[in-house]
Structure 1
Amino acid sequence: MISSNPSLSSYNSDRRNFIKTAGLGAMALTFSLPAMPDDLKVVPMGVVVHSYGARWHSKDGSQKYPGFADAIEMMEHCKQIGAGGVQVIVSGWAQDFARKVRDRREKLDLYLEGSIGLPKSGDEISKFESEVLAAKEAGATVLRTACLSGRRYVDFKTAEGFIAFKEKALKSIELAEPIVRKHKMKLAIENHKDWHAKELEAIIQTLGSEWVGVTLDFGNNISFLEDPMEVIKTLAPYTFSTHVKDMGVKNYKDGFLLSEVPLGEGIVDLKAGVDWCRKFNPSLTFSLEMITRNPLEIPYLTDEYWATFEDVSAKNTAKVLRKINENLYSGELPNVRGLSAEEKLAYEEQNVVSCLNYSRNILGLV
């Protein structure tokens, strides 16, 4: 366990050992699948704020799809369309606003998860702690975070660049852990196109804190040529929260295009993924991250793409590429090119509602 002192002066041999062991991987833990309770309450699928990228803080003035000014307005809408909860950004919440969120959330009977940034240095610990406390006051059960806002294969052109990022990321996690432990709040690190599943598993195992786990994104690691079900199996034992999504894939000259698609239309085995997660955490909530945007380019045929990846299995890579090519998206991948602001808002809403209907009718999240 790392030191409980959050000050920078505590980053001595403990931090060096953490970085070293997290880089090399930790001793694998042995898990057994618990029995599912017969009377377990199933919570309807919730919605991640990024599913409403166009509508969140929108200034477009749409009458039919008015922007969400804050978490309360997003909760109101999500309740109307049958969602079970929300995962929303917690930043700049005053104590009185956090209480308003709590009161409204309780009346709407929704779960609440926060989305929060990690402290980058000791100077940011107080801000991080205030956001943790605001989320706790509002009734959040989990705080999702990410170490990288971008994408590994885009942001880093050399192995050295990625190693420098990794050291900073591990330092940030070390800064955050004593705070969430102090306030008994779960912090969940997303596989956000930064970590291979095994890399994130090693970080969580090495840290060894019951308060730090994973936000399991069902589709992100396809961009790393990892099988989504293998990612789910690897990270499910540590999962505190989820980003449920389905992914469509089409080839292009430098690799493949990757896009969130309505649930059930892509290559992710959603039912198996949900069932596997619930075996490890029967009370886990499932939150939709259906991002309506242009497809992402995954340029795995270029040398630059591989600059930060080491010890990649040719056998596993070939297996994933075979799966991709056997399940290419039949139509045009979702995109927002040429759409007006109103059309983007309508398309986004259509995708969210379609996914929630699938979660009820097919995944049984009702």
Structure 2
Amino acid sequence: MKIAYVTTYNARSLRGSNEWSGTGYYIAQSLEKQSLSVEYIGPLKEPVTLHGVPKIKRRYYELFHKKNYQQDADPIILKSYARQVAKKLNNTKSDIVFSATVNPIAYLECDRPIVFWADGTFANIQNFYPLYTHLPQQVIKDWHLMEELALQRCKLAIYSSDWAAKSAIHDYGADPSKVKVVPFGANIESALTFETVKDAIESRPTNRCKLLFIAVDWIRKGGDVAYQVAKKLNQSGLKTELTVVGCQPLLEESLPDFVKALGFISKSTSEGKTQIQKLFLESHFLILPTIADCTPIVFCEANSLGVPCLSTTVGGVPTIIHNDVNGRLFDKDANISDYCNYITDLFADYSKYKNLAMSAFHEYDSRLNWRVCGQKVKDLLRTSVQN
């Protein structure tokens, strides 16, 4: 089976697809590792006539309407993408057109089945992510239209969470029979063996809790909650460390000794990968009390190293984290004591923590890795072509 893999960015390398945490690259790799022939179509270019126009529009809406302009669903751009893809398809013998987002295929006219694998719909993210609030009405209209057209044109709409799949059906009237759910895998090159992860779990201290917070957005990812949890645990008698990677803590008080702020660590370098892996292996929990998220792949990465995740019941997170299986979810407005009680209970009976950590690794190994996810998508593609 031959796949025409369409992306607006360069998905051939991890560095080229960093704008989506490398997910576009790993999607392609997951398909290739299923012995599917992948022909890359991308990066796509914006129309030359639009150069500078989005910047002007953004300033206009900000200054005169106090609105947040986003260009991603502009029909002029989307139609240009579609023309570029159609032109390149004329020179390919692909069986399926496959896209990681709906943008390049919303206006695409072609004689081959169209499939996409996305992490959310516009209805999901509007007024959910700060970036997609206070939008002009025309932008909102264009974005909804993009979603509708993509769902009408596609043979198969794959989403990384039940939350996103339900939105496609209920918000855009998508045919339920062509909407499927396949979570994304962990964006890591290679996982450690069961024995290595088990040894790491056994080596974690039983009298000290090590929390890891990885995010580039302290506020949206719930950094203050993570900090308050670590602070309260220390006050209650359980010595706790909070390591922050990706951003600087925004605190009203000076940084206490129990918080280690390491800044941004790039996974595109071998040194960065090694450092992040070491941090995971030494940590008891990844804590990410996010207030808005589609499918945080960092949860899958944590599980791959036997680290349970503490997060919130928002967006697509419940598809990844199952309570007391690979972590624990809390209400977005949960009390800090709810997190602390859960952690202290596990430390009081540490065998329960070790069982949870091993269960987290099993979730990665059986469900949250690109090998398993790629196989599921391959099976869906095969069925799609046959029908």
Tell me, yes or no, whether TM beats 0.5: no
TM-score, normalization by structure 2? 0.25
When Rg is computed on C-alpha atoms for both structures, the one with the higher figure is 2
